C-alpha cells in the first residue's frame, strides 16, 4: 500500500486523534524505504506531546525535523522558523507536515497554502471514533470542514486512527470500520489507511504503526500490550 504519493503530505485532524503518532510512523516508513524525508511539526496549539518530542529517533533515521522555534520550551509563543517555507520550496526531500489540532491549529497551515498547492499535496484527515467530540461521523465531518476552511486547502483522504491508547483492542478497531466508511461516504474522500499496532484481520488498508507517544510512567513492558 502506497500512502505517500505527493511531494507534500499533510496530517491534520482533531487534537488527540493521533496525528503526531501517524506522522512520525509515516516519516519513518518512508525513510526506511530510502526516501529523503523532512517532517515539519507545525503544531502551534499543543504545549506537550508533539513531533518535536521524537527528534532523536527521527534524526537517527536521517529525517530532517523542522519545529516551531520554542517547541518544548517554557515559552508559549507560536513562532515558526523560515525553514518551513524553504521546505515547501525544495524538491529533493518528501515533506510530511504534522499540523496542530482542530481548525485553530490548521490556521498555521493556511499561511503556506499557495506554495503547498503549487507543489502538489495530499491532506489526510485523521479520525478517531473514540474521541468524544468526534464520535459520530457527522461530527468528524464538520471538524474536517472547519480544518479545510482554516487551512485554505481541501482534504484528499481519511486516515482511520481509532484508538484508546494502550487500551486499544482489535474489537475497538473493527468497530470503527463502519464509522470511517461513513466519514468517507459523507465527504466523498477515499480511506487512506487504518492504523493498527498489531495485525488484525478484517481491517481495510491496514498500516502497522508503533505507538511512540507515551506517558512518562509507561515502561517498555506496558508497550507490548498496546
Residues found near another protein in the complex (CB under 8 A): 15-16, 46-49, 73-76, 104, 128, 130-133, 135, 163-165, 167, 215-219
Q: Which is nearer to another protein, 38 or 176 (CB)?
A: 176
Within 10 angstroms of residue 48's Cβ, the number of other Cβ atoms is 7
Compute the least distance from the CB of residue 46 to another protein, in Å: 7
Q: Which is nearer to another protein, 105 or 112 (CB)?
A: 105
Here the cell at position 128 is: 478517531
223: which residues sit within 8 A by CB, 6+ positions away?
166, 211, 214
Q: Which is nearer to another protein, 21 or 38 (CB)?
A: 21
The gap between the terminal CA atoms of the chain, to the nearest Å, is 23
Give φ, ψ of 131 to 5 degrees.
Answer: -100, 130
Compute the least distance from the CB of residue 201 to another protein, in Å: 23
Compute the least distance from the CB of residue 118 to another protein, in Å: 33
> Rounded to whole angstroms, how far apart are CA atoms 117 and 145?
18
Compute the least distance from the CB of residue 168 to another protein, in Å: 9
Which H or E element spans position 193?
Answer: strand 191-196
Q: Which is nearer to another protein, 30 or 130 (CB)?
A: 130
Amino acid at each position: 500500500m502506497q500512502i505517500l504519493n505527493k511531494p507534500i503530505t499533510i496530517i491534520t485532524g482533531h487534537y488527540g486523534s493521533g496525528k503526531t503518532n501517524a506522522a512520525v510512523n509515516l516519516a519513518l516508513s518512508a525513510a526506511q524505504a530510502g526516501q529523503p524525508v523532512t517532517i515539519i511539526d507545525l503544531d502551534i496549539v499543543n504545549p506537550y506531546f508533539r513531533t518535536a518530542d521524537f527528534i532523536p529517533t527521527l534524526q537517527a533515521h536521517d529525517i530532517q525535523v523542522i519545529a516551531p522555534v520554542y517547541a518544548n520550551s517554557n515559552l508559549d509563543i507560536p513562532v515558526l522558523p523560515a525553514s518551513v517555507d524553504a521546505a515547501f520550496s525544495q524538491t529533493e526531500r518528501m515533506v510530511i507536515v504534522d499540523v496542530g489540532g482542530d481548525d485553530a491549529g490548521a490556521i498555521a497551515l493556511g499561511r503556506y497554502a499557495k506554495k503547498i498547492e503549487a507543489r502538489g499535496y495530499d491532506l489526510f484527515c485523521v479520525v478517531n471514533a473514540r474521541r468524544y467530540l468526534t464520535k459520530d461521523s457527522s461530527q468528524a465531518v464538520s471538524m474536517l470542514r472547519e480544518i479545510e476552511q482554516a487551512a485554505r486547502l481541501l482534504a484528499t483522504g481519511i486516515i482511520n486512527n481509532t484508538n484508546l491508547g494502550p487500551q486499544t483492542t482489535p474489537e475497538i478497531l473493527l468497530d470503527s470500520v463502519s464509522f470511517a466508511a461513513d466519514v468517507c461516504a459523507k465527504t466523498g474522500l477515499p480511506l487512506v489507511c487504518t492504523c493498527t499496532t498489531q495485525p488484525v484481520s478484517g481491517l481495510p488498508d491496514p498500516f502497522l504503526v508503533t505507538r511512540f507517544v507515551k506517558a512518562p510512567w509507561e515502561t517498555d513492558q506496558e508497550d507490548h500490550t498496546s
